[in-house]
Amino acid sequence: MDITLRHYPAMQIEDLLPRDVWVWVPPSYFDDPSAHFPVIYMHDGQNLFYPEKSYSHVTWGIAETITKLSGWGYIQPAIVVGIDNTPNRFGDYLPTRPFDTPEGKAYLASLPEEAQPEHNIINFVADQYLKLVAEVIKPRVDQELRTLPDLKHTFMMGSSMGGLISLYGVVLYPEVFGGAGCFSTDWPSVNQVINAYLEAHLPEAGTHKFYFDHGSEELDAEYAPSQSVVNEIGKKKGYKYGKDWLTRFGAGTGHHERAWRSRLHIALRFFLGSWNKTT
């Protein structure tokens, strides 16, 4: 499949390293000049479109999957905005506010010396990163392309630490992002510190949707207990399985693009089309 991308180079605000942004529009974008489209903002943009740029030399196949599913009538076609990561990936993606508690500060102090905030090797700037996405990148995309800019049609999606920042993005900007797709969410990195924060700040059910998954191998083998706790938090907030909350398990799969690619169609149908238990 021939993929052509818009390129926004070196996007940056204060306290952030610059990063490139790549925008893909579905083929149907050009068929009807009056049509407007949902937008998915995805992290780790290097791994989305071109195998030669991907860490594993395998992409998410997001362009191919949206093209096929929308062509078959299963989903509404969507624009994808891929935001590259930087050498500060851990600090960009680790949710900030859950750690602004005695328990959170104690956990950060327990990290290896080079990771502790006072050493300035990792810069914990997730709030600034989300500000870049919500207040700089999104307005530009909405201005230059025919988007559906409301929260119902605006999503975040990512894997591992990218899953954490997608969840945090919806919690921090509930008026901007209507859903988070969290693949192989790296729960050990937040060491259960995030649970109390989600109990207090996760949006009540009714206007947002959350998709989670994980496999059974590699890093994913550790994720099931934490995911079960988060599922219970969502249930207490009023989320209903299959309607606005969905968790999937990929038996035999691990922590890599090939696994996330294999489940991508489920998340896309959940956010952009009809979903049922035979999916």
Q: How confident is the model at residue 2 (pLDDT cuts 50, 70, 90)?
A: low
E-strand spans in 46-87?
79-83
Q: What mean pLDDT is predicted for residues 21-41? A: 96
151-205 pLDDT, tens digit each: 999 999 999 999 999 999 999 999 999 999 999 999 999 988 999 999 999 999 9
H-type alpha helices, 35-153: 62-71, 89-93, 102-110, 126-132, 138-144
pLDDT at residue 108 in the model: 78
> 0.75 exceeded by the pTM?
yes
Tell me the β-bridge partners of 181: 157, 211
CA distance linking residue 183 with residue 248, whole number of Å = 9
pLDDT at 130 over 50: yes
How much is the average pLDDT of 113-128? 74
Q: Which domains does the chain have, with CATH numbers?
A: 6-272 (3.40.50.1820)
Is the per-residue pLDDT at 275 higher than 80? no
Which are the contacts of 32, defined by CB distance < 8 A and separation ≥ 6?
none
Name the nearest CA neighbour of 136 among 44, 49, 36, 8.
Answer: 8
Q: Say yes or no to pLDDT of 73 above 70.
A: yes
Structure tokens at 220: 């994913």
